[in-house]
Structure 1
Amino acid sequence: MQAFELNLPKKPGAEYPSAPGFLRRMCAVFYDGLLLLAVLFFATAIALPFNGGQSFTSEQYYFPLYLFGISYCFYVWFWMHGGQTLGLKAWNIRLSNLDGDRLNMREATFRFFAAMLSWSCLGLGFVWCLFDRNKLSWHDHLSKTRLRFVPGEKISPPN
Structure 2
Amino acid sequence: MNATAPMPAPPAGLARRFAAFVYEGVLLFAVLFFACFLYVVLTRQKDALFGLPGYVFAFAVPAAYFLYFWTRTGQTLALKTWHLRVVDRHGQPLRLGRALARYVFSWLWVLPGLSLWMVGLRGGLLAAGLAGWMLIYLLTARLHPQRQLPHDLLAGSRVITQLPQRP
Which category of TM-score, normalised to the shorter sequence, fits these structures? 0.7 to 0.9
Q: 1:119 touches 1:125 (CA, 8 Å); kept in 2?
A: no
Distance change in 2, residues 1:114/1:7 (3 Å): farther
Residue from 5, 23, 27 that aligns with 2:15 = 23
Give, in angstroms, the shift of residue 80 of structure 1.
Answer: 0.3
- Report the counterpart of residue 96 of structure 2 in structure 1: 105
- Which of the residues 68, 76, 91 maps onto 1:77? 68
Shift of 1:133: 1.1
Spell out, residue by residue over 1:14-54, the C-alpha distance to the aligned partner (whole angstroms, 9 max, x if none): 75322111111111011111111101111112112234262
Instruction: Report SS of the residue matched to 1:152.
Output: coil
TM-score (norm 1): 0.81
Q: Deviations over 1:92-148 (max 9, x none)?
A: 011100111110011001111111124334234432212211111101110111011
Match in the other structure for 1:3: none
Structure 2 length-normalised TM = 0.77
SS at match of 1:111: helix
Unaligned runs of 5+ in 1: 1-5, 155-159
CA RMSD of aligned residues (A): 2.2
| Kept after mapping to 1: 8 A contact 2:40/2:49 | no
Distance in 2 separating the partners of 1:138 and 1:68: 20
Matched with 2:123 is none
Q: Aligned in 2, Cα 1:62/1:51: closer, same or farther, shift over 3 Å?
A: same
Aligned residue for 1:61, secondary structure, equals: helix
The runs of 5 or more residues in structure 2 that have no matched partner are: 113-132
Q: Does the 8 Å contact 1:96/1:147 carry over to 2?
A: yes
- Find the partner of 2:25 among 30, 33, 48: 33
Shift of 1:57: 6.4
1:132 lines up with 2:149 in the alignment: no
- Answer whether contact 1:119 1:126 (CA < 8 A) is retained: no
- The aligned length equals 145
User: After the TM superposition, which parts of structure 1 deviate over 6 Å for at least 4 consecutive aligned residues?
Assistant: none
**CA contact 2:105–2:154 (8 Å) conserved in 1:** yes
Of 114-123 and 136-145, the range deviating more from structure 2: 114-123
